[in-house]
Amino acid sequence: MIHDYASGDELYRAHFDFLNTNKYLSAFFRMDAPLLKKPDRANYAFACVSDCGTLLALKVEPYSMLFFGDEACVPEAVGYLIEKGYEMPRYLCACDVGDRVMAELKNTYGRDYFQALGMDFMEAVSVTEPSSEEVVAATPADLDEICECLERFVSDCGLLDKVSREKTAETISCFRLIKRDGKIISMAKLCLSSDEDTRIACVYTRNEYRGQGYARKVVNAAKNEILSQGKKATLNVDQKNPISNHIYESIGFVKLFSQGEYREKKQA
Protein backbone atom coordinates (compact mmCIF):
# COMPACT_ATOMS: atom_id res chain seq x y z
CA MET A 1 0.00 0.00 0.00
CA ILE A 2 1.27 3.47 -0.91
CA HIS A 3 0.58 6.59 1.11
CA ASP A 4 1.46 10.07 -0.19
CA TYR A 5 2.29 12.86 2.26
CA ALA A 6 1.51 16.56 1.98
CA SER A 7 4.88 17.56 3.43
CA GLY A 8 8.22 16.13 4.42
CA ASP A 9 7.51 16.78 8.09
CA GLU A 10 4.31 14.75 7.85
CA LEU A 11 6.25 11.77 6.47
CA TYR A 12 8.95 12.18 9.11
CA ARG A 13 6.49 12.33 12.01
CA ALA A 14 4.49 9.35 10.76
CA HIS A 15 7.59 7.14 10.52
CA PHE A 16 9.75 8.66 13.25
CA ASP A 17 10.31 5.38 15.12
CA PHE A 18 11.13 3.50 11.92
CA LEU A 19 13.62 6.14 10.79
CA ASN A 20 15.28 6.00 14.20
CA THR A 21 16.11 2.33 13.73
CA ASN A 22 19.17 3.66 11.88
CA LYS A 23 19.73 7.33 12.69
CA TYR A 24 22.85 7.51 10.56
CA LEU A 25 21.24 6.11 7.43
CA SER A 26 18.17 8.30 7.89
CA ALA A 27 20.15 11.49 8.58
CA PHE A 28 19.36 12.99 5.17
CA PHE A 29 15.64 12.41 5.79
CA ARG A 30 15.96 14.45 8.98
CA MET A 31 17.69 17.27 7.09
CA ASP A 32 15.53 17.30 3.93
CA ALA A 33 12.06 16.61 5.38
CA PRO A 34 11.46 20.18 6.69
CA LEU A 35 12.26 21.56 3.22
CA LEU A 36 9.36 19.81 1.47
CA LYS A 37 6.35 22.13 1.76
CA LYS A 38 4.39 21.60 -1.45
CA PRO A 39 4.56 18.28 -3.33
CA ASP A 40 4.79 18.12 -7.11
CA ARG A 41 6.52 15.87 -9.66
CA ALA A 42 9.99 17.00 -8.51
CA ASN A 43 9.23 17.24 -4.77
CA TYR A 44 7.39 14.42 -3.07
CA ALA A 45 7.16 12.09 -0.09
CA PHE A 46 5.52 8.70 0.15
CA ALA A 47 5.68 5.42 2.03
CA CYS A 48 5.25 1.90 0.69
CA VAL A 49 3.99 -0.36 3.49
CA SER A 50 3.27 -4.06 3.03
CA ASP A 51 3.70 -7.44 4.69
CA CYS A 52 7.26 -7.36 3.31
CA GLY A 53 8.18 -4.22 5.26
CA THR A 54 8.33 -0.47 4.76
CA LEU A 55 10.13 1.70 2.24
CA LEU A 56 10.12 5.50 2.51
CA ALA A 57 10.83 7.90 -0.35
CA LEU A 58 11.58 11.62 -0.13
CA LYS A 59 12.59 14.05 -2.89
CA VAL A 60 13.36 17.73 -2.39
CA GLU A 61 14.94 19.87 -5.11
CA PRO A 62 17.85 20.29 -5.70
CA TYR A 63 18.89 17.28 -3.60
CA SER A 64 19.03 13.57 -4.42
CA MET A 65 15.90 11.51 -3.98
CA LEU A 66 16.13 9.39 -0.79
CA PHE A 67 15.05 5.82 -0.04
CA PHE A 68 15.02 4.27 3.43
CA GLY A 69 13.75 0.84 4.40
CA ASP A 70 13.24 -2.66 3.09
CA GLU A 71 14.37 -3.70 -0.38
CA ALA A 72 11.47 -6.16 -0.66
CA CYS A 73 9.18 -3.13 -1.17
CA VAL A 74 11.21 -1.84 -4.12
CA PRO A 75 9.04 -3.22 -6.99
CA GLU A 76 5.86 -1.61 -5.66
CA ALA A 77 7.60 1.68 -4.80
CA VAL A 78 9.33 1.98 -8.17
CA GLY A 79 6.10 1.12 -9.97
CA TYR A 80 4.40 3.96 -8.11
CA LEU A 81 7.19 6.37 -9.03
CA ILE A 82 6.77 5.53 -12.70
CA GLU A 83 2.95 5.66 -12.55
CA LYS A 84 2.95 9.11 -10.94
CA GLY A 85 5.61 10.48 -13.26
CA TYR A 86 7.79 11.52 -10.35
CA GLU A 87 11.20 12.86 -11.35
CA MET A 88 14.25 10.97 -10.10
CA PRO A 89 17.46 12.01 -11.89
CA ARG A 90 19.46 10.58 -8.98
CA TYR A 91 18.83 8.84 -5.68
CA LEU A 92 20.74 8.10 -2.49
CA CYS A 93 20.30 5.14 -0.14
CA ALA A 94 21.84 1.98 1.30
CA CYS A 95 23.51 -0.06 -1.44
CA ASP A 96 21.27 -3.12 -1.05
CA VAL A 97 18.19 -0.98 -1.69
CA GLY A 98 19.94 1.10 -4.35
CA ASP A 99 21.05 -1.92 -6.36
CA ARG A 100 17.55 -3.40 -6.22
CA VAL A 101 16.01 -0.11 -7.41
CA MET A 102 18.52 0.10 -10.26
CA ALA A 103 17.73 -3.46 -11.38
CA GLU A 104 13.97 -2.87 -11.19
CA LEU A 105 14.19 0.31 -13.24
CA LYS A 106 16.29 -1.44 -15.88
CA ASN A 107 14.56 -4.80 -16.11
CA THR A 108 10.94 -3.67 -15.80
CA TYR A 109 10.93 -0.14 -17.22
CA GLY A 110 14.02 0.01 -19.44
CA ARG A 111 15.49 2.98 -17.60
CA ASP A 112 19.25 2.89 -17.09
CA TYR A 113 20.89 4.10 -13.88
CA PHE A 114 24.41 3.58 -12.56
CA GLN A 115 26.11 3.89 -9.20
CA ALA A 116 28.03 7.15 -9.46
CA LEU A 117 29.29 7.13 -5.88
CA GLY A 118 29.82 4.32 -3.40
CA MET A 119 30.50 5.28 0.20
CA ASP A 120 31.28 3.45 3.42
CA PHE A 121 29.82 5.08 6.51
CA MET A 122 32.24 4.93 9.44
CA GLU A 123 32.04 5.75 13.16
CA ALA A 124 34.64 6.37 15.88
CA VAL A 125 33.91 6.36 19.60
CA SER A 126 37.34 6.50 21.26
CA VAL A 127 40.59 8.48 21.19
CA THR A 128 43.42 6.41 19.71
CA GLU A 129 46.21 8.99 19.60
CA PRO A 130 46.76 12.65 20.58
CA SER A 131 45.81 15.48 18.25
CA SER A 132 48.55 17.14 16.21
CA GLU A 133 49.39 20.71 17.19
CA GLU A 134 49.64 21.48 13.47
CA VAL A 135 45.84 21.43 13.16
CA VAL A 136 44.21 24.83 13.66
CA ALA A 137 40.72 26.31 13.36
CA ALA A 138 39.95 28.37 10.26
CA THR A 139 39.36 32.12 10.41
CA PRO A 140 37.51 34.47 8.01
CA ALA A 141 40.85 35.27 6.40
CA ASP A 142 40.96 31.66 5.09
CA LEU A 143 37.66 31.94 3.17
CA ASP A 144 39.03 32.38 -0.36
CA GLU A 145 41.47 29.51 -0.05
CA ILE A 146 38.90 27.20 1.57
CA CYS A 147 36.48 27.86 -1.30
CA GLU A 148 39.25 27.03 -3.75
CA CYS A 149 39.97 23.76 -1.94
CA LEU A 150 36.26 22.93 -1.82
CA GLU A 151 35.99 23.37 -5.58
CA ARG A 152 38.84 20.89 -6.05
CA PHE A 153 37.32 18.51 -3.51
CA VAL A 154 33.96 18.50 -5.34
CA SER A 155 35.72 17.89 -8.66
CA ASP A 156 37.93 15.11 -7.28
CA CYS A 157 34.94 13.30 -5.76
CA GLY A 158 32.75 13.61 -8.85
CA LEU A 159 30.05 15.41 -6.86
CA LEU A 160 27.37 17.65 -8.35
CA ASP A 161 27.44 20.12 -5.46
CA LYS A 162 28.01 23.82 -6.05
CA VAL A 163 30.34 25.62 -3.65
CA SER A 164 28.61 28.59 -2.04
CA ARG A 165 30.93 31.31 -0.80
CA GLU A 166 28.13 32.68 1.40
CA LYS A 167 27.39 29.35 3.09
CA THR A 168 31.08 28.61 3.48
CA ALA A 169 31.56 31.97 5.19
CA GLU A 170 28.72 31.14 7.59
CA THR A 171 30.42 27.88 8.63
CA ILE A 172 34.05 29.02 8.47
CA SER A 173 34.59 28.20 12.17
CA CYS A 174 33.79 24.54 11.44
CA PHE A 175 36.87 24.00 9.25
CA ARG A 176 40.11 22.55 10.64
CA LEU A 177 43.30 23.19 8.72
CA ILE A 178 46.98 22.37 8.40
CA LYS A 179 49.07 25.12 6.81
CA ARG A 180 52.57 25.41 5.39
CA ASP A 181 54.06 28.86 4.81
CA GLY A 182 50.62 30.39 5.26
CA LYS A 183 49.04 28.08 2.67
CA ILE A 184 46.31 25.52 3.42
CA ILE A 185 47.63 22.06 2.55
CA SER A 186 44.98 19.88 4.22
CA MET A 187 41.54 20.46 5.72
CA ALA A 188 38.35 18.92 7.07
CA LYS A 189 34.98 20.26 8.17
CA LEU A 190 32.87 19.48 11.24
CA CYS A 191 29.19 19.14 10.31
CA LEU A 192 26.59 18.92 13.06
CA SER A 193 24.48 15.82 12.42
CA SER A 194 22.56 15.17 15.63
CA ASP A 195 22.77 15.44 19.40
CA GLU A 196 24.70 12.17 19.36
CA ASP A 197 27.20 12.60 16.53
CA THR A 198 29.09 15.11 14.41
CA ARG A 199 30.13 14.24 10.86
CA ILE A 200 33.56 14.97 9.42
CA ALA A 201 33.28 16.07 5.79
CA CYS A 202 35.18 17.83 2.99
CA VAL A 203 38.46 16.07 3.81
CA TYR A 204 40.91 17.43 1.26
CA THR A 205 44.70 17.54 0.84
CA ARG A 206 46.45 19.32 -2.02
CA ASN A 207 47.92 16.90 -4.57
CA GLU A 208 51.54 17.78 -3.89
CA TYR A 209 51.15 17.04 -0.17
CA ARG A 210 49.28 13.74 -0.38
CA GLY A 211 50.78 10.59 1.06
CA GLN A 212 52.54 12.47 3.85
CA GLY A 213 50.02 11.90 6.65
CA TYR A 214 48.35 15.31 6.66
CA ALA A 215 44.79 14.04 6.12
CA ARG A 216 45.32 11.55 8.93
CA LYS A 217 46.38 14.36 11.27
CA VAL A 218 43.53 16.69 10.44
CA VAL A 219 40.86 13.97 10.65
CA ASN A 220 42.28 12.59 13.90
CA ALA A 221 42.25 16.07 15.46
CA ALA A 222 38.68 16.65 14.28
CA LYS A 223 37.66 13.26 15.66
CA ASN A 224 39.22 13.98 19.06
CA GLU A 225 37.50 17.37 19.22
CA ILE A 226 34.13 15.73 18.55
CA LEU A 227 34.73 13.03 21.15
CA SER A 228 35.71 15.67 23.73
CA GLN A 229 32.19 17.07 23.33
CA GLY A 230 30.70 13.73 24.32
CA LYS A 231 29.65 12.81 20.78
CA LYS A 232 30.54 10.11 18.28
CA ALA A 233 32.55 11.04 15.18
CA THR A 234 31.25 9.87 11.80
CA LEU A 235 32.29 10.20 8.17
CA ASN A 236 31.71 8.84 4.68
CA VAL A 237 34.63 7.53 2.66
CA ASP A 238 34.70 6.76 -1.07
CA GLN A 239 34.83 3.00 -1.68
CA LYS A 240 37.19 3.69 -4.60
CA ASN A 241 39.76 5.06 -2.17
CA PRO A 242 41.12 2.12 -0.10
CA ILE A 243 43.97 4.31 1.16
CA SER A 244 41.52 6.61 2.94
CA ASN A 245 39.66 3.60 4.34
CA HIS A 246 42.91 2.30 5.81
CA ILE A 247 43.84 5.71 7.23
CA TYR A 248 40.51 6.10 9.01
CA GLU A 249 40.57 2.54 10.34
CA SER A 250 44.04 3.21 11.77
CA ILE A 251 42.69 6.01 13.95
CA GLY A 252 39.69 4.10 15.25
CA PHE A 253 36.93 4.41 12.65
CA VAL A 254 34.79 1.33 12.01
CA LYS A 255 32.56 0.73 8.96
CA LEU A 256 28.85 0.46 9.80
CA PHE A 257 27.22 0.22 6.34
CA SER A 258 27.57 1.19 2.68
CA GLN A 259 25.45 3.66 0.74
CA GLY A 260 25.50 4.96 -2.79
CA GLU A 261 24.31 7.71 -5.06
CA TYR A 262 22.77 6.45 -8.29
CA ARG A 263 22.26 8.58 -11.39
CA GLU A 264 20.21 8.13 -14.56
CA LYS A 265 22.29 7.63 -17.67
CA LYS A 266 21.97 10.44 -20.17
CA GLN A 267 20.49 9.42 -23.49
CA ALA A 268 22.88 9.75 -26.45
Of the pLDDT bands very low, low, confident and very high (cuts 50, 70, 90), residue 188 is: very high
User: What burial letters (b/e) apply to 23-43, b meaning 16+ CB within 10 Å?
Assistant: ebbbbbbbebbeebeebeeeb
- Binning pLDDT at 50, 70 and 90, where does residue 254 land? very high
Q: What's the confidence (pLDDT) of residue 161?
A: 76
| pLDDT attached to residue 267 | 66
Confidence (pTM): 0.78
Give the confidence band of 243 by pLDDT, cuts at 50, 70, 90: confident
Task: Give the pLDDT score at 112.
Answer: 96
* Residue-by-residue DSSP string for 98-112: HHHHHHHHHHHH---
